[in-house]
Every structure is written in structure tokens, then in C-alpha cells.
Amino acid sequence: MFDRDGRVLVENRHSYSISIVREHTKDLNRTVRLLASVIRVDEKHVRDIVDRHRREPAYRPITIVQDASLAQVAAVTARRLDFELPDVVVEEVPTQAVSRNDWPRICSATSARSTTRRSPKTTTSRAATSSVRPASRRSTTRS
């Protein structure tokens, strides 16, 4: 999405998320420890995320990193290929990047656009409305 000056307001891009699938995990502590070291995140932070989602069903993945860097994605993918992290998945997710400085312009442009919409009656051309006559009028003009 561009503004009237051609600057990008919203940009669609792909990002990656890294998640643990507990359903496939044999040793969750080992997975948390190894994943934290591979993606270079504090182990306590990863453990806190896992603990917050403990009551959810085991088949539901726990997202550890949203918008992961390419280095993190490459490191996890390499460990998956070596069967060190078979219970960790990397997913490509469509994302919209919006600059915080552009929010006032996006909101004002959206509100201005919604207030200037025309009703369906004003969009009909005169030629289209003048050629349609009620049936009662036609019967009086023929006689």
C-alpha cells in the first residue's frame, strides 16, 4: 500500500516462525535446552514460553520465535536434517510490515476514504435512469 506521494505504507513479506511440537517430543527439557542454544536465545525465555502453553493440547505447536532471522532458520533446519531437533518446525508465514510512523497517515487516509463514499443512487448515470419508465406511464402514453 502506498501513500499519495508514492511512499510504502504497508509491505507484504514472508517471515518465519520457529515452533516446538510437543506431540513429537520425547524429552522436552532436552529440546528446550538445545533449541535455546541453536537460536541463541536465553534458555529461561524459551522455558517460560513453553510453561505458558503447557495446558494447551500437545498437538498444537508452541511458537517460540516469530519473525525469526535467516540465521536462526538455517541453524534449526540444519539440526532437523541431522535429527537433533525433529520436534521443532520452521514455518513460512505471510506478514505485513507497517512503519509505526505511518500509522497516523494510514488511519487518516482510511477514515477519509470511508466518509467520502457515495450512496448507490448517486453512482447511477442519468441516461440509465431516464430510459426506465414505470409500466403505468407507458400505458397512458400509448393511447
| pLDDT at residue number 95 | 77
Q: Which domains does the chain have, with CATH numbers?
A: 10-100 (3.90.1310.10)
2 φ, ψ (degrees, to nearest 5): -115, 155
pLDDT in tens, 89-130: 999 988 776 765 655 555 555 555 554 444 444 444 444 444
Q: C-alpha distances in angstroms, 32 versus 46, 53, 86?
A: 7, 13, 12
| pLDDT at residue number 102 | 53
Nearest to 61 by CA among 69, 45, 71, 49: 49
Q: SS3 for 114? A: helix
pTM reported for the whole predicted model? 0.61
Work out whether the CA dihedral 90, 45, 32, 43 comes out positive or negative. Answer: positive
CA 63 to chain centre: 15
| pLDDT at residue number 136 | 47
Give dist(CA 58, CA 62) in Å, integer.
Answer: 9
Could you tell me the pLDDT band of residue 16, with boundaries at 50, 70 and 90? very high
